[in-house]
Amino acid sequence: MVVVCCVLTLGCGGHRSSGPTDRSGGAKQTSQPEQRRAHEADNLAYLEIARASGTLRTNAAAAALGRAPRIANLPAIAAATQTVLQLQPRDSGLITARKRMRAALDAALAARGDRRSQRAAAIDALKATDGINRQLETYAARHPDVQTLVPD
């Protein structure tokens, strides 16, 4: 449910071409099937990065607020890390979002176990996912069809 809310809040942003170029600096022509595969890879990356962001935010929130001694459900965060590692987006914004998501997940998993360190890591996780979610909003604005992939 949190992931759906996270994904549904995604909205507007800019556009920057991430397509391949030929040696003369112009856009390289790609076949329809190749474009379709790239678009599918990007849409999958968008959804999985959003899901990972929701997982991290859900499990970091209580620790960030000081209501829990540590970030919760580390196995779910570790699983999200593995999923993010397998993604192969082609869109430059999603490539950056994937890198940032992986770094945020890794930092949450690597945080020392004391309450102060856990709270600091949780706050950092929320800040990082705020930025990642903005990148996802930018992608969604350029590709409104991703909204059809999100269940109501």
pLDDT band at 2 (very low <50, low <70, confident <90, very high): very low
Share of the chain above pLDDT 70, in %: 78
Instruction: Give the distance from CA 152 to its chain's centroid.
Output: 20
> What is the C-alpha to C-alpha distance for residues 71 and 31, in angstroms, rounded to an integer?
45
For residue 100, give the nearest of 29, 50, 152, 151 by alpha carbon. Answer: 50
Contact 59, 71 (CB under 8 A): yes
Number of helices (H), then strands (E), in the chain: 5, 0
Contact 144, 51 (CB under 8 A): no
Average pLDDT, integer, range 47-56: 97
pLDDT at 65 over 90: yes
* pLDDT (tens digit per residue) in 80-117: 999 999 999 999 999 999 999 999 999 999 999 999 99
Mean pLDDT taken over the chain: 84
* 0.95 exceeded by pTM: no
Which tokens sit at 43? 């849409």
Identity of the residue numbered 87: L
